[in-house]
Structure 1
Amino acid sequence: MASGIRLDKVRKSFGATDVIKGIDLTIEPGEFVVLVGPSGCGKSTLLNLIAGLETVSSGDILIGGQNVNRVPPRDRDIAMVFQSYALYPTKTVRANITFGMETRRVPRDAQEAAVEEFSRLLQIDHLLDRKPGQLSGGQRQRVAMGRALVRQPAVFLFDEPLSNLDAKLRIEMRTEIKKLHQRLGKTVVYVTHDQIEAMTLATRIAVMDNGHIRQFADPATIYEYPVDLFVAGFMGSPPMNMIRGRLFHENGRVFVLPLGARESVRFPLVGAAGTAALADSREVVLGLRPETIFAAGSELPGPNRHVFEAPVEVVEPTGPDTMLVFQIGGQDLIARVRPEDVATPGKTFRFEVDMGKAKLFDAETGLAL
C-alpha cells in the first residue's frame, strides 16, 4: 500500500540559519512528487526530514496519517535511494540487496523470492554474484534501487539518484524509474536540481527557493502558468525569455514596449492581459518561451501572431532545433527555430511570436499578472 505524506508548517534551522521556512505540503498516496530548485534551496534537507535523518525544528510530518516526528527512520515504512549508491564494496549484488532483509530477519525463502522478482524487474538478475566494483554506474544505481524495492515500503525517497550518471544513462534510468512507478504505484518523493528530470517524472512538482515552495502543481501548469518570475525562469530549457518593458495603450490595445528598444518594437498583449485595466507606463516583464518564437512564415498562420525583426548574435545548432540568440533593447533573448531556417550572425532576422502564449509579470513583485 502507498501512503500519503503531509507536512504542516515544517521548519528546520541549523543554529541561527533557517533552511526550511514553514512548509505546508500534501502528497497523495501513489503520487510521484519532485522537489526541484537550485543548490542550497533546502530540497535535500526537506527529504531528510521526511526520512527522519534530520529532526524538525517545529511543525509536523505525517506519513500514512501517523505523526512521525519522533519515529526513527527504520520504523517510517520508507526506503531511500542516494546519489552515492551507498553499496557495500565487499558484498555481492545479491548480498547488498538482501542485507536489509537479513537485519530484519526476513525468512530466507522470502528473501530469495524478492531478489528474483526485483532483479528481473531491474534487469540485474545476471549480475547477482558480482561485486559493485565490477559494475557500471548505471548498474550500481539499479542495485541501489533493488535494495530499496525489496523492502516494499509505502514511500520511496530519491535524493538526486541520477546526478553521477552520464547524459545517455540518465535518460535511460529516468525511463526505468517512471516505469517502476507506473507498475508499483508507490508514493515517491524525488529530489533533483534538473528541471527536465522534474518535468518528465513528476505527477506534481514542488519548485523550491530559499526554504520556501514557490509553486506546487502538475508539470503542465508549472510550465504554462508559472506563478512568478523565479518559477518561470527556472523551469524550461532554454529558460523563458524575460523582456523588461513598460505598458502603453493605443487604439484600445495594450502593448509592451521593451526598455531601451526603439518605439517601433512593441509586443501586443492578447487575451486577459490585453483587456486588463493595467496602468500606462507600468513597468512589467514580458515572458516568452523560446519555442513560441520562430522564423516568420515558417508555421501555420494563427490569430495571435506578431512579426518583428532583430539582429542575430549567435547561431547554435542542436540537431532537431537551432537556437538563435538575438537582442532587443540590449537584452539577450533566445528563439528556437527549425534547422532549415537559415540565419547569419550580425544580420537582421524576421521573427514571429505567438503572443497567445506570452506571460506577463509585475516588474516590482515578480508575480504573474
Structure 2
Amino acid sequence: MSDIRLRNVRKRFGTNEVIKGIDLDIEEGEFVVLVGPSGCGKSTLLNLVSGLETLSDGDVFIGERKVNDVAPKDRDIAMVFQSYALYPTKSVEDNITFGMVTRHVPRQAREKALAEVADLLHIDTLLARKPGQLSGGQRQRVAMGRALVRNPDVFLFDEPLSNLDAKLRVEMRTEIKKLHRRLGKTVIYVTHDQIEAMSLASRIAVMDNGTIRQVAPPEAIYEEPVDLFVASFIGSPSMNLFKGRVVENSGLHLEVTDEEGTIHFPVPEALAGPARRYLGRELYLGLRPETIGREGTQRPCRATFAFERMIDVVEPTGPDTLLVFTLGGIEAIARVHPEDKAPVDSKYRFEVNMDRAKLFDPETGKRL
C-alpha cells in the first residue's frame, strides 16, 4: 500500500509556523499536485513527507506505517528535485546506478533496472555521456531515471521542470504524465506553475500561507473555486473579479459602477437565492476571461448579457486574442477569437456567459 495520510501536520522554524495543521489523504496511485505562491509551504510540506524535515506536530502515514521517526532512506520514496544534482564526472549510467551500487544491489539486478529505465525514458543512447554533454531535458530524464531504478512506492517531485525552457517544459510534462500512467505509482508534485498543475494532476491542493485552501480535481478547482484566493490564483489569465452591489431592478442584479457608467449584471437564477441575502450589500462577481467574448459569439446558454467598454490593450497569443478593458476600477481581460479583435481605444460590445458567473462574499472570500 502506498497511500499517504497527513494528520494535523505542523512545522515551526523557531516561532514562525510555516505549516499550520494540514490534513490530507492521497490515495494509492494518485497524482496530487501542491500548487501555490512562493513561500506558501509547498516544498516544506513535501520535505515533511520525505523526512528531510522533522515534524513539529502531527503524523505522516505512508500506507499503514507511521513514518514520523523513520529515516528518509527507509520510507520507500524517491525524490526528483529542481536541481538535477548529477555527478558531473560520472557517466549517465553511473549516475543512475550509483544508489544501487552503494546499497550493494547485485550487478545483474542493476543492469536489468538500468535497461528498463533507460528504455522507458528514451535515454538508452546516452548512457556513456557525462551530464555536461546533455541538454536540460536529458539531464532531467537522468535525474528521473535515478529515482525510478529504486522502484519506490511513492515519487516526490519538487519543481522538477522550472529550470527548463518553455518548449522543454511542455515535452517533459507529457513524459511525466505518460510515466505515471505506465507505472501507476503515488506521486506528490510541487510547482508554482498552475498550468503544470492543471495538466498533470488527478487532484490539486491549492496552498496559501501554510494551509490548504482547496483540494479537488483540476476541472473542479477551475470551475468551482472555493474562495477568492483560489479563483484569482488558478487560471491564466486569472478570473476577473468585479466588486458590485446587489440590487433589485426587474430581477436581481449586481451593480458595477465606474467612470464610464453603471452596468447591471443579471444574477444567474442558480445564485439568486443566496445572492438575495446580500440585497443592498456588496459581492464580488467572478468571470473567467473565456466567458467574455464579442457580442453574438458566446455558445448557447441560458443567460447572456452584453455591455460596452473601451479596449485598452490587445494581446495576440496565437489561437486567442486577449482584450484588456477597464470595468469597476480594475483591468479586466476577455479571451476572444483572433478575428474578433478590435483596435485599441475603440468601443467594443462584449457578451458574458452568466451561467458560468461566480459570486463571492467580500468579507470571508467564500464562494456563494
- Pick the TM interval, shorter chain: over 0.9
How does 1:61-72 map onto structure 2 within 5 Å?
Answer: 61-72=60-71
For 1:247-286, list aligned pairs within 5 A. Answer: 247-251=246-250, 253-260=251-258, 264-276=262-274, 277-286=276-285
Whether contact under 8 Å (1:310, 1:348) holds in the other structure is yes
Q: Counterparts in 2 of 1:1-369, with a 5 A limit? A: 3-251=2-250, 253-260=251-258, 264-276=262-274, 277-369=276-368
The answer (yes or no) to whether the contact 1:98–1:147 under 8 Å persists in 2 is yes
| Structure 1 unaligned spans of 5+ | none
How large is the RMSD of aligned CA atoms in angstroms?
Answer: 1.1
- For the 8 Å contact 2:321–2:341, the answer to whether it is kept is no
| Cα offset, 1:124, TM superposition | 0.4
Whether the 8 Å CA contact 1:257–1:263 is kept in 2: the answer is: no
Instruction: Say whether the 8 Å CA contact 1:268–1:274 is kept in structure 2.
Output: no
Shift of 1:345: 1.1
Cα-to-partner distance string for 1:14-39 (whole Å, 9 max, x where unaligned): 01110000000000000000000000
In 1, the alpha carbon distance for the partners of 2:91 and 2:57 equals 42
Instruction: Letter of the 1:258 partner, please give it.
Output: V
**Contact preservation (8 Å) 1:52, 1:72:** yes
AA aligned to 1:106 is: V
C-alpha contact (below 8 Å) 2:41/2:208 kept by paired residues: yes
Contact 2:301 2:355 in 1 (8 A): no
1:275 Cα deviation after fit? 3.3
**CA distances 1:209-247 after superposition (whole Å, capped 9, x unpaired):** 000000011101100100100000000000000101111
Cα offset, 1:281, TM superposition: 1.7
CA distance, structure 1, for counterparts of residue 52 and residue 3 of structure 2 = 19
Structure 1 residues 339 and 309: alpha-carbon distance in aligned structure 2, compared to 1, 3 A threshold: same
Q: Which moved more, 1:296-305 or 1:144-153?
A: 296-305
Name the aligned partner's letter for residue 275 of structure 1.
Answer: G
**How far apart are the structure 2 equivalents of 1:4 and 1:261?**
55
User: How much does 1:104 deviate?
Assistant: 1.2
Aligned to 1:323, the other structure's residue is in SS state: strand
1:319-353 residue CA offsets vs partner (Å, 9 max, x unmatched): 10000000113221000000001311111100000
Shift of 1:280: 1.7
Shift of 1:299: 3.5
How far residue 263 of structure 1 moved from its aligned partner, in angstroms, is: 6.0
Aligned-residue offset at 1:264: 4.4
**CA shift at 1:262, angstroms?**
6.1
Residues paired across the two proteins, number: 367
Alpha carbons 2:256, 2:328 under 8 Å: kept: yes
Q: 1:267 to 1:261 in 2, by over 3 A?
A: farther
SS in 2 for 1:124: coil
- Please report the TM-score for the alignment, with normalisation by the length of structure 1: 0.98
**Runs of 4 or more consecutive aligned structure 1 residues displaced over 4 Å after TM superposition:** 261-264
Please give the alpha-carbon distance, in whole angstroms, between the structure 2 residues aligned to 1:301 and 1:201: 30
Give distance in 2, aligned partners of 1:299 and 1:245.
23
Q: Match for 1:321: what amino acid?
A: D
Evaluate the alpha carbon distance shift between residue 360 and residue 300 of structure 1 in structure 2; reply closer, same or farther with a 3 A threshold.
Answer: closer
Q: 2 CA distance for matches of 1:25 and 1:120?
A: 35
Tell me if structure 1 keeps the 8 A contact 2:257–2:263.
Answer: no
How much has 1:303 moved relative to structure 2? 2.0
Query: How high is the TM-score relative to the length of structure 2?
Result: 0.98
In structure 2, C-alpha distance between the alignment counterparts of 1:53 and 1:82, rounded to whole Å: 13
Tell me if the contact between 1:262 and 1:329 (Cα under 8 Å) persists in the aligned partners: no
Q: Could you tell me whether the CA contact under 8 Å between 1:119 and 1:125 is conserved in 2?
A: yes
Output one character per residue of 1:91-129: Cα deviation in whole Å (capped at 9) or x when no partner.
Answer: 100000001111111111110011101101100000000
